[in-house]
Amino acid sequence: MDRRTLLQVAATAGVAPATMAGPADAAPPTALPPTPLSTVPLRLPATEFTYEAVVELEPMVPLGKSPLGERRIIPITGGVFQGPRIRGTVLAGGADRQLTRSDGVVLLNALYELKTDDGAIITVNNRALIDAPPGQVAYAYSVLDFTAPEGPHAWLNRGIFVGTVHGLPPERHAVLIRVYRVV
């Protein structure tokens, strides 16, 4: 039996022969013994609907080309949102900053505020990736971070949220955003 086979047998048995293992041969320490994958339960993420928003927009303002791609900004002028636990208006003053990469993928970073019906102000940072190759269904998904005040809407601070982005007819100057909490 060669040295490598002996070390593999010893490691499998949970024994490291002191006479055989040198610094180069020593296995890194582990906190727990290896667990067979079959004993780890598979838990797929699920989502629950959080809210739907119609976000009203101003016309796009080009910001010029950069080494990363074509930049533009789209001011947010208002809107409404509603879900099972939350509803209110989208405040004017936010903006959707966009970068169109050379491969056609559009990266969005929208920063804006929501005002709930009970007066709470919630900051939203919505980062999306949109890929719409010709002849294919567009891929338009986002990850949202919320900063909500303590109180009835603090649950938004303690979750992972994902969303979809849908353009509405051009004369509407708005987008439809659907938000889901990962559970």
Those residues whose C-beta lies under 8 Å from the C-beta of residue 132, and which sit 6 or more positions away, are 104, 138, 139, 140
| Residue 170 DSSP code | G
| pLDDT score for 40 | 79
Write the pLDDT tens digit of every residue in 75-92: 999 999 999 999 999 999
Average pLDDT (95-108) is 97
pTM of the model: 0.76
Percent of the chain topping pLDDT 70: 80
Alpha-helical regions (H) of the chain? 3-12
Q: Distance between CA 108 and CA 121 in Å, rounded?
A: 22
Write the pLDDT tens digit of every residue in 16-70: 444 444 455 556 665 666 667 767 788 899 999 999 999 999 999 999 999 999 9
Domains of the chain: 3-39 (no CATH), 47-182 (2.40.160.20)
